[in-house]
Amino acid sequence: MPAIEVSGLTKAFRTYKKQPGFAGALKGLVHRQYEQTVAVNDVSFKIKPGELVGFLGPNGAGKTTTLKMLAGLLYPTGGTARVLGHVPWERHDDYRRQFALVLGQKNQLWWDLPARESLELNAKIYGIPADRFNRTVGELTELLGVKDKLNVSVRELSLGERMKMELIASLLHQPKVLFLDEPTIGLDVVSQKTVREFIRRHNQEQKTTIVLTSHYMADIQELCERVIIIDHGKLFFDGKLAEIVDRFANFKLVTIQCENTGRHSAEQLSRYGEVTVKTETSITLKVTRDRVIPACKALLDELPVTDIDIQEVPVEDVIRQIFAR
């Protein structure tokens, strides 16, 4: 049985369209014009228990709206969804005890209180015994390196420390499903790495089903084998991350080390592929997949090549091209 099952999920928002100026405001009192925005449009997918899935899309694609519906914060306009066998927007207590939602741009901790007191409040809400609470907080703060920050006011914590405390708060009740919306946004490189390693370890050890949205491709590449891409509210791709390059990038990057590259003009090199980078000692060509072997053979035969390197296009570049469409 899937941990998350979504079928034809749709969410449309109805917004008031105000006419400009004072006259427009008066007109709006008598006759209002509305426009409908479809944030999520007929999205369907299934996620197995214990799976860690990347949920990608450009800004405004409908990622956060989808997560909020799965968390029961929004009612859908159409379609169905079941998480752990529950309909999320019915908000049964049994379901709310089994999932957690972390929004990278919103805080659940009390701003003026020490982090420990906010965590203790969450423990009371979820009915977590004191010994289990102390054990869980001790383990999580140790793993995330914030044990000495528990008694510091949340407003005095750095962004990275605050995000780590948010993660701890969301995991206190040991949820079976975890929705992470931009958990590393604004963090420095070291904090990003710490959070990523923690998420990976938690997923492997606790078998928690995790849905992760992020604009940092490093998060997705290091954590997710499978990705779901939505754009303008519609499902665009659902499959393994490695398949994205095969499906949407029909070329590879061939870099050769060669003496006196200046003797070879871009026009001469264009018969091997598109020149993307040219320095005094190296040339990088974009070559279609079906021509990689013939092009490499010709380069080795006709140029004084000292080294050759063939690479796939970086996934980040492919995703950027997909979003640019």
List phi, psi (to 5°) of 84.
Answer: 55, 35
Positive or negative, the CA dihedral 159, 162, 168, 173 is negative
Residue that is last in its domain, among 204, 220, 245:
245
Residues 233 and 277 in one domain: no
Helices (H) and strands (E) in the chain, counts: 12, 13
Low-confidence winner among 21-25, 170-174, 216-220 (lowest mean pLDDT): 21-25
Number of domains in the chain: 2
Query: Which of 6, 80, 30, 82 shows the shortest CA–CA distance to 235?
Result: 6
Residues 235 and 277 in one domain: no
Supply the CATH number for residue 67's domain.
3.40.50.300
Among the ranges 8-17, 164-173, 247-256, 297-306, which has the highest mean pLDDT value? 164-173
Residues 241 and 255 in one domain: no
Kindly indicate the confidence band of residue 261, based on its pLDDT and cuts at 50, 70 and 90.
low
Kindly indicate the confidence band of residue 266, based on its pLDDT and cuts at 50, 70 and 90.
low
- Across residues 228-233, what is the average pLDDT? 88
Residue 85, pLDDT score = 92
Query: Which of 325, 148, 315, 317 shows the shortest CA–CA distance to 243?
Result: 315
Roughly how many angstroms between the first and final C-alpha of the chain, as a whole number?
Answer: 36
Question: Concatenated DSSP letters for 189-256?
Answer: HHHHHHHHHHHHHHHHHH--EEEEE-S-HHHHHHH-SEEEEEETTEEEEEEEHHHHHHHH--EEEEEE
Percent of the chain with pLDDT over 70: 97
d(CA 28, CA 1): 50
Residue that is last in its domain, among 245, 261, 293:
245
CB 208 within 8 A of CB 178: yes
Would you say residue 47 has pLDDT above 90?
yes
Residues 196 and 304 in one domain: no
Supply the CATH number for residue 298's domain.
3.30.70.980
CB 162 within 8 A of CB 118: no
- Domain interval for residue 190: 4-245
Question: Is the model's pTM score more than 0.85?
Answer: no
Residue 262, pLDDT score = 64
Residues 205 and 317 in one domain: no
Would you say residue 325 has pLDDT above 70?
no
Would you say residue 104 has pLDDT above 80?
no
Residues 26 and 84 in one domain: yes
Residues 224 and 295 in one domain: no
Query: Which of 170, 160, 7 shows the shortest CA–CA distance to 81?
Result: 7
Would you say residue 57 has pLDDT above 90?
no
Among the ranges 83-97, 145-159, 174-188, 249-263, which has the highest mean pLDDT value? 83-97
- Across residues 107-112, what is the average pLDDT? 84
**Sheet harboring 305-312: ordered strands across?**
274-278, 282-288, 251-258, 305-312
Residues 232 and 101 in one domain: yes
